[in-house]
Structure 1
Amino acid sequence: MEQTIFQHMETVRGITEQSILKTSEEIADIVPKGFNNSIRWNYGHIAYIQEYLVYGVLDQKINLPVEYREFFRAGTKPTDWKETPPSLADIYSVLSEQKIRIQQSLQGNLHKKLPKPFTNHFGITFHTLGETFLFSFYHEALHLETINRIYQSVVAK
């Protein structure tokens, strides 16, 4: 079953990687009416939350560039950015490297109990690393759909 889970991660992240490669820097920071965030924010947020749902819930170090927390954690938005965010190429590299690193570190650990149960903003409580990891796929798909909606909104103008 573990191999199936990791294959699913490869599939989901592969879709994300293909999507970011098709996105231009010119449209990455547009926040259309009706949206709170940009395409760039959504890609960075996918990376940050995946990291949190694998390492943060275990009270381990987040292995992303320090600025990812300020740019991409839940509740942030591009209108609050005071610095230049990472390029799409940088975010792509983080997403690709993250996939490999997570698979290596999670081998045989999906059953691992969390130090304390984690409840997300949907009110869902998780007790094991496997539960948070599996939820991260759903989270990634939600943001990919948002990216698609933003893209359609931008190119339809």
Structure 2
Amino acid sequence: MEQTIFQHMETVRGITEQSIKKISEEIANIVPKGFNNNIHWNFGHIAFIQEKLVYGVLGEQMSLPIQYEEFFSAGTKPSEWKGTPPSLAEISSVLSEQKSRIRQSHQGNLHKKLPTPFTNRAGITFNTVGETFLFSFYHEALHIETIKRIYQSISVK
């Protein structure tokens, strides 16, 4: 079953990696009416939350630069950014590197108990790293759908 889970990560992240390659930096930074964030924020948020759900909830060191939390954590938005966020090219590289690092560090460890149960903003409580890891696929898919909606909103104009 574990191999199926890691294969699913490859599939989901592959969709994300293909999507980011198709978007220009200019388009990615538009926040259309009706949205709080842009495409750029959504890709950075995917990378940050994946890191948090796989390493942060275990109390392990997250490998992303601190600026990912400042720019892309839940509740942040581009209109409040101070400074320059990582470029789409950098985020693309992080997304690619992240999946191989997760596989290497967590293979055989998905059953590992979290130091304390983690309850997300939706009120869902997780007890193992495998549970948070599986939830991260759902989270990533939600944001890919948001990216598509933002892109469509921009393209209509």
**Shorter-chain TM-score category?**
over 0.9
User: What residue number does 1:94 align with?
Assistant: 94
Distance 2:114 2:65 in 1: 24
C-alpha displacement at 1:85, in angstroms?
1.0
Q: Which amino acid aligns with 1:148?
A: K
User: What residue number does 1:77 align with?
Assistant: 77
Q: Which amino acid aligns with 1:40?
A: H
User: What residue number does 1:142 align with?
Assistant: 142
How do 1:47-58 residues align onto structure 2 when only pairs under 5 Å count? 47-58=47-58
- The secondary structure found in structure 2 opposite 1:76 is coil
User: What residue number does 2:66 align with?
Assistant: 66
Distance 2:122 2:37 in 1: 19
Q: Which amino acid aligns with 1:65?
A: P
Q: Does 1:114 align with 2:114?
A: yes
Cα RMSD between the aligned structures? 0.5
User: What residue number does 1:10 align with?
Assistant: 10
- Structure 1: gaps spanning 5 or more residues: none
C-alpha displacement at 1:14, in angstroms?
0.1
TM-score (norm 2): 0.99
Distance 1:62 1:78 in 2: 23
Distance 1:5 1:46 in 2: 18
Q: Which amino acid aligns with 2:65?
A: P
Q: How big is each residue's C-alpha offset from its partner over 1:23-71, in whole Å with a ceiling of 9 and x where there is no partner?
A: 0011111111111100000000000000000000001111101210100
- The secondary structure found in structure 2 opposite 1:116 is strand
Q: Does 1:22 align with 2:22?
A: yes
Identity among equivalent positions (%) equals 78
- The secondary structure found in structure 1 opposite 2:60 is coil
Q: Which amino acid aligns with 2:2?
A: E
Q: How big is each residue's C-alpha offset from its partner over 1:105-145, in whole Å with a ceiling of 9 and x where there is no partner?
A: 01100000000000001110000000000000000000000
TM-score (norm 1): 0.99
C-alpha displacement at 1:5, in angstroms?
0.2
C-alpha displacement at 1:150, in angstroms?
0.1
Q: How big is each residue's C-alpha offset from its partner over 1:60-115, in whole Å with a ceiling of 9 and x where there is no partner?
A: 11110121010001110000111011111000000000010001001100000000
